[in-house]
Chains A and B, each alone.
Chain A
């Protein structure tokens, strides 16, 4: 079935360094790839997304790349700050029909940014 694998499970970086989180997906029909940030006790918050017709997208310090051939996508955070510390989830969505669009989530990465 559909599956999304995410690595690493934990990531610790010094403030100002870059952080990279990688995900692979199993179903080549996936066409929408969001990244969520989850802080303790809160729901996932969308931080950036990319669609299968685009290879890269950037929003200030956050960027996402997509390699459809290899079926993997990555989140890049530059100039990390302590407030970036959270759990990050990647997800993939298949929308073969117009009425589903469920998200399959990766296992999550706990990012710790040390001051």
Chain B
């Protein structure tokens, strides 16, 4: 069964440093997402990406965050200057269609980001 692959599985970084989280979505999917989950809390939407541009972003996704799909297979989330409160599990997801036509969203196993 096709999978969404995320690397690394765990990243520890110093406060103020830049981090890049990487994802390889399912190859024929068209919609790409980043979500985050602070320990013990609900999964929160960060950003959606379609047709090589951001289609929607949440209030969490401020100027410190950016996404890129540099080569048609990878989908990256960059945090420019990490803060302690950025510590969370970050999930990448992809889907073929949305809404009534959706066949479901596939999530990766996540990257646990720890900012110290």
- In the complex, whether B11 has a CB less than 8 A from a CB of chain A is no
**CB pair B106 A32 closer than 8 Å:** no
**CB pair B98 A100 closer than 8 Å:** yes
Which B residues are within 8 Å of any A CB, using their own CB? 4, 31, 33, 35, 41-45, 48, 50-51, 55-56, 91, 93, 95, 97-100, 102, 104-110
B85 to nearest A CB, angstroms? 19
Residue from the set A36, A49, A100 with the largest chain B CB neighbour count within 10 Å? A100
**CB pair B42 A99 closer than 8 Å:** no
Q: Which residues of A contact B108 (CB under 8 A)?
A: 43
Given contacts A99-B55, A101-B48, contact A107 B102 (CB under 8 A): no
Which A residues are within 8 Å of any B CB, using their own CB? 31-32, 34, 36, 41-46, 49, 51-53, 89, 91, 93-95, 97-108
**CB pair A102 B100 closer than 8 Å:** no
Q: Which residues of A contact B93 (CB under 8 A)?
A: 103
Q: A41-B109, A102-B48 are in contact. List 4 more A-B contacts (CB 8 A).
A: A44-B91, A46-B107, A53-B100, A89-B43
Of chain A, the residue at the smallest CB distance from B59 is A1
Of chain A, the residue at the smallest CB distance from B53 is A99
Of chain B, the residue at the smallest CB distance from A108 is B42
B11 to nearest A CB, angstroms? 15
**CB pair A105 B44 closer than 8 Å:** yes
Of chain B, the residue at the smallest CB distance from A102 is B45
**CB pair B104 A46 closer than 8 Å:** yes
**CB pair B98 A32 closer than 8 Å:** yes
Q: Which residues of A contact B42 (CB under 8 A)?
A: 89, 105-108
- CA distance in complex: A57, B100 (Å): 14
- CA distance in complex: A99, B42 (Å): 24
Q: Which residues of A contact B48 (CB under 8 A)?
A: 99-102
**CB pair B106 A46 closer than 8 Å:** yes
**CB pair A42 B109 closer than 8 Å:** yes
